[in-house]
Chains A and B, each alone.
Chain A
Amino acid sequence: KAGVTQTPRYLIKTRGQQVTLSCSPISGHRSVSWYQQTPGQGLQFLFEYFSETQRNKGNFPGRFSGRQFSNSRSEMNVSTLELGDSALYLCASSTGLAGGHNEQFFGPGTRLTVL
C-alpha cells in the first residue's frame, strides 16, 4: 500500500496570504488528523476528520480550517497567514479514530514558511 502523501512538500508564502495543504491517506483509512510542529510549541493537534466529519479540534484560531472528501483525502486551509504559522504541518491517517487504540501513519509533512 502507498503511504500517506502530502502536497506540496515545501511552500513559501507572505503574511496575509492564504494556503491550502493536501493529504492523501493510506487506502482504506477513514481518519485523517493534522498536526502543527514548531521548535517552540512542539507537536500540536489541529483537527481530526473521520468519514467527512470533523470529530475533534485543537486550540487553534478560526483561521485554521479543514475538510475531508468522500475518498478520505483531506485539505487544511490557513487564511491570513502570520509569521508564527511557519511550521511543519503533518498529516496522519488511521483506520479508526486517533483517540482509540489506533496506530497513526504519518506523511512526510509540508514545510510552510511565512515571510
Chain B
Amino acid sequence: SQQGEEDPQALSIQEGENATMNCSYKTSINNLQWYRQNSGRGLVHLILIRSNEREKHSGRLRVTLDTSKKSSSLLITASRAADTASYFCATAGKAAGNKLTFGGGTRVLVKP
C-alpha cells in the first residue's frame, strides 16, 4: 500500500482559479515533497517541506504540513493552462524504510 494518499484524484478548474490538493500519510516522516508530472514524462520537483516546518512558499505554490494529522496540502494560486499535470506527494523517513514513497497523485486540468 502507498504511504501517501491524495485527494481529490482529479480536479478541473478555470484558468485564474486556485487549485488545492491534499495528501495524507501513515508513518512519521523526515520530510514531504511535491512533484509534478506532465503527460507520462518524468517528474519535476516542486517543493520540499521538513517535518519541523508548517508552511512553505515557492512562487505561486504554497505547501502546508500538519504532522499531528499526518497531512499536507498544496495550493496553486492563479492557475494557468500550463499547470495542467498530475501532482504527487512523496514522503521520506526512517519509519517508511528510508525511501521516497509516492502517493497516487491528483490529476489537475486547468481550462483556458
Contact = CB atoms under 8 A, between A and B. Distances in A.
Given A99-B92, A101-B31, A45 B42 contact: no
Interface residues of B, number: 27
A100 B2 CA distance: 19
A48 interface: yes
A43 B40 CA distance: 11
- Which of A43, A44, A100, A104 has the most chain B CB atoms closer than 10 A to its own CB? A43
Contacts of B42: 4, 90, 106-109
- The size class of the interface chain A forms with chain B is 20 to 34
Contacts of B78: none
Main SS class of interface, A: strand
B87 interface: no
A46 B42 CA distance: 16
A109 B31 contact: no
Nearest to B94: A99
B98 A90 contact: no
- Which of B35, B43, B98 has the most chain A CB atoms closer than 10 A to its own CB? B43
18 contacts: A33-B99, A43-B105, A45-B101, A45-B102, A55-B98, A88-B40, A90-B43, A98-B98, A98-B99, A98-B100, A99-B30, A99-B100, A101-B30, A101-B50, A105-B45, A106-B35, A108-B41, A109-B41
Interface of B: 2, 30-31, 33, 35, 40-45, 48, 50, 88, 90, 92-94, 97-105
Given A42-B105, A100-B92, A106-B44, 16 more contacts: A4-B42, A33-B100, A42-B102, A42-B104, A45-B100, A56-B97, A92-B43, A98-B92, A99-B97, A99-B100, A101-B48, A101-B50, A104-B33, A104-B43, A105-B45, A109-B41
